[in-house]
Amino acid sequence: MPSFEPNEPVAQVDVAVEHLPAATVVRVAGELDHLTAPKFEAVALPAARRCAGRLVIDLSAVSFLASAGIAVVLAAGAAAPGRVRVVVGSGFTRRPLELTGAGEIVRLCTTREEALAAD
């Protein structure tokens, strides 16, 4: 069994919130797995609860999406009082969301512009 070496890179994630007139955008960059999902959750859930209009979760800069990240997307979607759109960008973020059925719960969009314009 491989062991962890102290100098090995650890999964990284950056999460930022942008408040627009008609939407709150939670932008995520990096890897979303069981190590980084708590940081995403700590930002996304409060933003979702406070969002007055549409919630857009932008995963277009996510390089890896595990089930822990999908769970946070769905929790944020459930916490948001309005419409929820998820920007998936590439297939490696879209596919896990589609396979798990998350695309039935939140609307998946290819671009940020599409998510902000979606009705």
* pLDDT attached to residue 45: 96
Mark the ranges of the chain whose per-residue pLDDT is less than 50: 4
Closest by CA position to 116, among listed 62, 71, 60, 58: 58
pLDDT in tens, 96-108: 999 999 988 899 9
* pLDDT attached to residue 53: 86
User: CA 108 from chain center: how many Å?
Assistant: 11
Is residue 31 within 8 Å of 59, Cβ to Cβ? no
* pLDDT attached to residue 10: 62
Listed in sequence order, the residues at least 6 apart from 21 whose beta carbon sits closer than 8 Å to its beta carbon are 53
